Structure 1
Amino acid sequence: MMNLLSSCWKPFGGRGADLGGGGGGKEGKDGLLWFRDIGRHGSGEFSMAVVQANQVLEDQSQIESGPLGTFVGIYDGHGGPDASRYVCDHLFRNFRAISEESQGAVTAETIEGAFRRTEDGFTALVSESWSTRPHIATTGTCCLVGVIFQQTLFIANLGDSRVVLGKKVGNTGGVAAIQLSTEHNANIEAIRQELKELHPEDSQVVVLKHGVWRVKGIIQVSRSIDGLWEHLSNEKAVDIVHSNPHAGSAKRLVKAALHEAARKREMRYSDLHKIDKKVRRHFHDDITVIVLFLNHDLISKGEALHPSVSIRSALNH
């Protein structure tokens, strides 16, 4: 079983890499936008896109897919790229190792264990690096993971990234937008109350600053939406995907968000497109989008469309 798992859950093969004989599709670039218009995972197709705004890209993302299932991760870093890069390097490896320890089982506990092991590893790295790289102690990352395994879709989220499902509505031809993840954002009353209960000795654990609730007055997230969902509603995003060809879906969503970001600043998209990284951060954050199309016939039959795909978005564009 150990050897079977190692071959089914392929390890990461490199930044921007595709280890599946073409299943990952071709990558492209358009200024600060990196994308793969269409590729194949074990249960259907995918589309992937990232646009950089920070001087150093803080977002990381990956797709790992084989006959056993599909693993998708999006890591929205803050304060620098160190935490998100570490998670992208280690979370799937830890997930696979814990699954192997359980004879190939994938459960909510498997994913939670991978999160804990990865966090413990990064905390240890911060301690070991304190004398030479103290700045990494100020970095962090949101962590959003989806796993498809044996006809089950698992979602795990820490932070304020978001998963939205587009579900067909009967025979009407319409699609409903269903949010599958819960966000940890200090602007949400329940999250603020949770933080106050966890830290009763700290009167400044959540602070209202310029009309926005922030943890310690610094960041909105409590475990860390200023990406795609700041500019597009769930319904709008699902409609864009549903109304267009599969190929280019992620890129189309990113561009729709950029058009909206430009509109809010009363400027043209073409002018925003000319603005370089770092300065671009004044207009929008790094944005990462992965769209998964699920083939229910493949999922129900337990058949794999493609044997192995291992992809990470490029580090910087």
Structure 2
Amino acid sequence: MAAGTEFSPYGMLESGFNRDNMSTGEDIMSQNTDHLKQMVIRKPPRHVSGVRHSMSTATLQPPHSPDFGFGIVAVTDGKSDFLPMIRSGSCAEKGPKQYMEDEHICIDDLLEYLDGIEGFPSPGAFYGVFDGHGGTDAATYVRKNILKFIIEDSQFPVCLEKAIQNAYVKADHAFADNASLDISSGTTVLTALVFGRMMVVANAGDCRAVLGKRGRAIELSKDHKPNSPSERLRIEQLGGAIYDGYLNGQLSVARALGDWHMKGPKGSACPLSAEPELQQIQLTEDDEFLIIGCDGLWDVMSSQCAVTITRKELMVHNDPERCSRELVREALKRNTCDNLTVIVICFSPDPPPRIEIPQTRVRRSISVEGLNFLKGVLDSNS
């Protein structure tokens, strides 16, 4: 999967959790922590929904150009009270491959799923895409167990990033200890945990998470390909080698769970890493949806193109499941060579508002959002 070229304003957190790289800054992180500490978490009554939301305060005017679906948007300041309303849809297809090795998980309401377990605010949700290789054992095992390892970690919920990082490594080690499974199989893993207004994306491998922010594609994960500069440096420092884009001539990703025929003793540093990179953001009304998918999608589609297609579809029918099916169909039309798994997660009950190029007496200019939208339309039609 070719790494995307879209610019992301968010910093990437490595295993050391270098918060200096976060574009939101330590002050926002501190506010997040204070916000969590003030939450009163208790099991909700059965007849009361565990998901709360605040409606968008956007004011829409009639569309100027129906062909492109633009419209004028004026958004008032109400982000401090915003809570996402979570809904999702997914689609998985074998594609041109002989076997389906992908797995995925979609949980829109963790309070209900976990029967009101202590430690989760409302809303809470969890999603994951697991792109298996060498068989399905690793992908299936991680799908069934990764959430349990997160919740049971001693760092949960005080430090979500550390709990998730620990869970990936623990799942990898537990898989190696399971004598009934083929531990030479492997899987890439990308998960997204929504925790109140916060969302934490963790990635080990070449799946990708892309945020749709008022028509703009924001990549919340980095493709872990052996040839990427940071992964190549890490691999070579640990004694690994890259041949024709493959780690040690065997694997097309630099991070994965499983593949224990390529790893040393548990706990030792290894060119093939199970440690994820993490990204934490605070959701606002501008954050419309998240797309997570395996490399079968991103091999043939840019991040901006996927966001443009999804946003356009949501404006028509407001159904995330139909959006995920459309992305899969488009990838098949573009002759993807891999399995396909796509999840679309929406953060509002409403369809995205229309975007219009502002009109002036002297000259006509285009907003950043409008420019990104046009780029995506051109990309999707190419």
- Structure 1 and Structure 2 fold alike (TM over 0.5): yes
Residues 1:181 and 2:216 are matched in the alignment: no
1:308 maps to none
* Greater RCO, 1 or 2 (C-alpha within 8 Å, sep 6+): 1
Instruction: Evaluate the alpha carbon distance shift between residue 70 and residue 239 of structure 1 in structure 2; reply closer, same or farther with a 3 A threshold.
Output: same
- Kindly indicate whether the alpha-carbon contact (under 8 Å) linking 2:102 and 2:139 is maintained by their aligned counterparts in 1: yes
2:306 maps to 237
Instruction: Evaluate the alpha carbon distance shift between residue 43 and residue 235 of structure 1 in structure 2; reply closer, same or farther with a 3 A threshold.
Output: same
Q: CA RMSD in A?
A: 2.8
1:26 maps to none
**How many Å apart are 1:123 and its aligned residue?**
1.2
1:143-182 maps to which residues of 2 (within 5 A)? 143-168=189-214, 175-182=215-222
What is the distance in 1 between the residues matched to 2:98 and 2:229?
33
What is the distance in 2 between the residues matched to 1:45 and 1:57?
26
1:113 maps to 166
Which of 35, 54, 57 does residue 100 from structure 2 map onto?
A: 57
- Kindly indicate whether the alpha-carbon contact (under 8 Å) linking 1:5 and 1:104 is maintained by their aligned counterparts in 2: no
Instruction: Evaluate the alpha carbon distance shift between residue 165 and residue 103 of structure 1 in structure 2; reply closer, same or farther with a 3 A threshold.
Output: closer
What is the distance in 2 between the residues matched to 1:251 and 1:244?
11
Post-superposition CA distance 1:52-98 (Å, at most 9, x none) = 14443210100222343111111011111010000011101111222
SS at match of 2:212: strand
State the one-letter code of the partner of 2:235.
Answer: L
SS at match of 2:208: coil
What is the distance in 2 between the residues matched to 1:62 and 1:73?
5
- Report the identity percentage: 28
2:176 maps to 123
**How many Å apart are 1:105 and its aligned residue?**
3.8
1:217 maps to 249
1:96 maps to 151
1:85 maps to 140
Instruction: Evaluate the alpha carbon distance shift between residue 93 and residue 223 of structure 1 in structure 2; reply closer, same or farther with a 3 A threshold.
Output: same
2:90 maps to 48
Instruction: Evaluate the alpha carbon distance shift between residue 147 and residue 178 of structure 1 in structure 2; reply closer, same or farther with a 3 A threshold.
Output: same
- Kindly indicate whether the alpha-carbon contact (under 8 Å) linking 2:136 and 2:185 is maintained by their aligned counterparts in 1: yes
Instruction: Evaluate the alpha carbon distance shift between residue 103 and residue 207 of structure 1 in structure 2; reply closer, same or farther with a 3 A threshold.
Output: closer
2:330 maps to 256
SS at match of 2:183: helix
What is the distance in 1 between the residues matched to 2:313 and 2:306?
11
Identify unmatched segments of 5+ residues in structure 1. 9-19, 21-41, 169-174, 262-282, 298-317
**How many Å apart are 1:138 and its aligned residue?**
2.4
1:207 maps to 243
What is the distance in 2 between the residues matched to 1:48 and 1:107?
25
1:7-18 maps to which residues of 2 (within 5 A)? none
- Kindly indicate whether the alpha-carbon contact (under 8 Å) linking 2:208 and 2:295 is maintained by their aligned counterparts in 1: no
Identify unmatched segments of 5+ residues in structure 2. 1-39, 50-83, 112-120, 257-293, 351-382
1:273-292 maps to which residues of 2 (within 5 A)? 284-292=337-345
- Kindly indicate whether the alpha-carbon contact (under 8 Å) linking 1:164 and 1:180 is maintained by their aligned counterparts in 2: yes
State the one-letter code of the partner of 2:300.
Answer: H
**How many Å apart are 1:187 and its aligned residue?**
2.6
Post-superposition CA distance 1:167-207 (Å, at most 9, x none) = 11xxxxxx1111110121013132112100011xx5xx211
SS at match of 2:254: coil
State the one-letter code of the partner of 2:92.
Answer: V
State the one-letter code of the partner of 2:203.
Answer: N
1:32 maps to none
**How many Å apart are 1:6 and its aligned residue?**
10
SS at match of 1:48: strand
1:228 maps to 297
Instruction: Evaluate the alpha carbon distance shift between residue 5 and residue 119 of structure 1 in structure 2; reply closer, same or farther with a 3 A threshold.
Output: farther
SS at match of 2:177: helix
- Kindly indicate whether the alpha-carbon contact (under 8 Å) linking 2:129 and 2:191 is maintained by their aligned counterparts in 1: yes
**How many Å apart are 1:296 and its aligned residue?**
9.3
Instruction: Evaluate the alpha carbon distance shift between residue 156 and residue 55 of structure 1 in structure 2; reply closer, same or farther with a 3 A threshold.
Output: same
Instruction: Evaluate the alpha carbon distance shift between residue 97 and residue 62 of structure 1 in structure 2; reply closer, same or farther with a 3 A threshold.
Output: same
**Runs of at least 4 residues of structure 1 off by over 2 A?**
4-8, 53-56, 64-68, 101-106
Which of 212, 236, 257 does residue 196 from structure 1 map onto?
A: 236
Instruction: Evaluate the alpha carbon distance shift between residue 164 and residue 226 of structure 1 in structure 2; reply closer, same or farther with a 3 A threshold.
Output: closer
Residues 1:76 and 2:131 are matched in the alignment: yes
- Kindly indicate whether the alpha-carbon contact (under 8 Å) linking 2:150 and 2:156 is maintained by their aligned counterparts in 1: no
Count of residues in correspondence between the two structures: 220
> TM-score, normalised to structure 2's length?
0.53
State the one-letter code of the partner of 1:206.
Answer: I
State the one-letter code of the partner of 1:60.
Answer: E
**How many Å apart are 1:112 and its aligned residue?**
1.0
